[in-house]
Structure 1
Amino acid sequence: MTYIPGISQSYTAADQAAAPKEKGKTLGQNDFLTLLVAQMQNQDPLNPTDATEWTSQLAQYSQLEQSMNLNTTMDQLVEGQKSSERLSALSLIGKQAVVEGSTFQLDDGSVEIGYRVDGEASDIQLHIEDGNGRRVSTLFPSDLSAGNHYLTWQGLDQSGAHLPAGEYTIVAEAQSSIEGGTVGVSPLVRTDVTGVDLGESGALLLTDVGEVALSDIYGVYDKKQGPTEPAEGSSPPPPVNGTNVVEEISAAMDGAGII
């Protein structure tokens, strides 16, 4: 009789070379069980396999089965997460998203803008430039703490005159509250979500400022619904932002009756 010394050594080099390539280089669950049964049927009766060896191989089989079941469960969770992300992304079409960006549109005389501060600042200035790069206004936010903050620009120039509708740009500057230190500041703008790209790498929102991932969204609003009170320098509670942005955005929109 032919003796198979162990499952891990069951395939010879010739067997592996003759095996179809589509089966891969690793043993599947059925292969493992087939080899185990074959070993039992073909063991040398004068020199049977030690019981400890059987126990070890059965333990290997159990571990393999658990590992494969875990992989299947993880694959299902990943697919479920992707489906949830796609549904969340599709529900945002026609809404406005808050993202990092410098360009925004002034339409009806006022617009909500924001800024993200990486640390404590002693001074922050938001310079507004028109389409020609000319500085038309400068805002001095009152909230200098780390985080996301929002305010409403009334669309006025330095002299208090109303500016025409059009495209404008935010240039943000900040000084650290620590002497000799630096602090980062990034402008936040609201942009229309016009579509969704459901690619292999995940859902991307198509907006006026380009493609944006769900994880890069700081808030979602209905058009004309603002996150702030119409007062210069005001800072409301920060919008949705966190490690699991899909769940937080969905919860926020559901609570507000947006979806």
Structure 2
Amino acid sequence: MTDSIKNDASSYQLPDKTKVPSSNSMDKDMFMKILIAQLSNQDPTAPMEDKEFISQMAQFSSLEQMQSIGKGIETMMLNQHAAALMNYSNLIGNKVSYESETVTKDATGADVTSTVKETANVLSVKRDGVDILAELSNGKSVSVYDLTEIKPKEEK
């Protein structure tokens, strides 16, 4: 009697390749669609066992929690970058010193690298990836972590 139940694989159609998927990651909506399709197309003579269903629901719950944790971490990272930028904004207008390397030629024409201490006023502070850069009055941008001295504004 099981002959009346047929697996009609010929009715399956490949997805339309002209449509670009929104992202490569699975989200909770995609997971629910797959689960509903699986439940509605299961073999009535061998339905999904409770253990399998509970396992898939646990996976769904874990996926949702991981997405929530990921969003929380992303927000925390953005807040840390903003706080660092705000902390270093007090450098604007101050005179700072830093060391830079210069390359000169000696009498034989060979390159000689020397370290020079430079001083300039901070015009602005900006974030470049994870680094905070101080843009200086001499036209250079220097990482705030490379500054060796900070002097307050000179009063006129």
Kindly indicate whether structure 1 or structure 2 has the higher relative contact order, using CA contacts under 8 Å at least 6 residues apart.
Answer: 1
Q: 5+ residue gaps in structure 2?
A: 103-113
Q: 5+ residue gaps in structure 1?
A: 4-11, 104-170, 172-185, 225-259
In structure 2, the partner of 1:99 is 98
Residue 220 of structure 1 aligns to which amino acid in structure 2?
I
Q: Identify if the C-alpha distance between structure 1 residues 19 and 83 changes in structure 2 by more than 3 Å, giving closer, same or farther.
A: farther
Q: Residue 97 of structure 1 aligns to a residue in which SS?
A: strand
Residue 217 of structure 1 aligns to which amino acid in structure 2?
L
Q: Identify if the C-alpha distance between structure 1 residues 47 and 198 changes in structure 2 by more than 3 Å, giving closer, same or farther.
A: same
Q: Identify if the C-alpha distance between structure 1 residues 61 and 95 changes in structure 2 by more than 3 Å, giving closer, same or farther.
A: same
Match of 2:147 among 200, 212, 217: 217
Structure 1 runs (4+) greater than 6 angstroms displaced: none
Q: Give 1:190 deviation, angstroms.
A: 4.3
In structure 2, the partner of 1:81 is 80
The number of aligned residues is 134
Q: Identify if the C-alpha distance between structure 1 residues 33 and 93 changes in structure 2 by more than 3 Å, giving closer, same or farther.
A: same
Q: Residue 91 of structure 1 aligns to a residue in which SS?
A: helix
Please list, as runs of the form range in 1=range in 2, the aligned pairs for 1:16-95 lying within 5 A after superposition.
Answer: 17-18=16-17, 20-95=19-94
Per-residue deviation, residues 174-194 of structure 1 (Å, max 9, x unmatched): xxxxxxxxxxxx665543212
Q: Residue 101 of structure 1 aligns to a residue in which SS?
A: strand
Q: Give 1:2 deviation, angstroms.
A: 9.7
In structure 2, the partner of 1:14 is 14
Residue 66 of structure 2 aligns to which amino acid in structure 1?
S
In structure 2, the partner of 1:118 is none
Q: Decide whether the 8 Å contact of 1:86 with 1:198 is kept in 2.
A: yes
Q: Give 1:197 deviation, angstroms.
A: 4.0
Tell me which protein shows more helix as a share of its residues. 2
Aligned pair 1:196/2:125, yes or no? yes
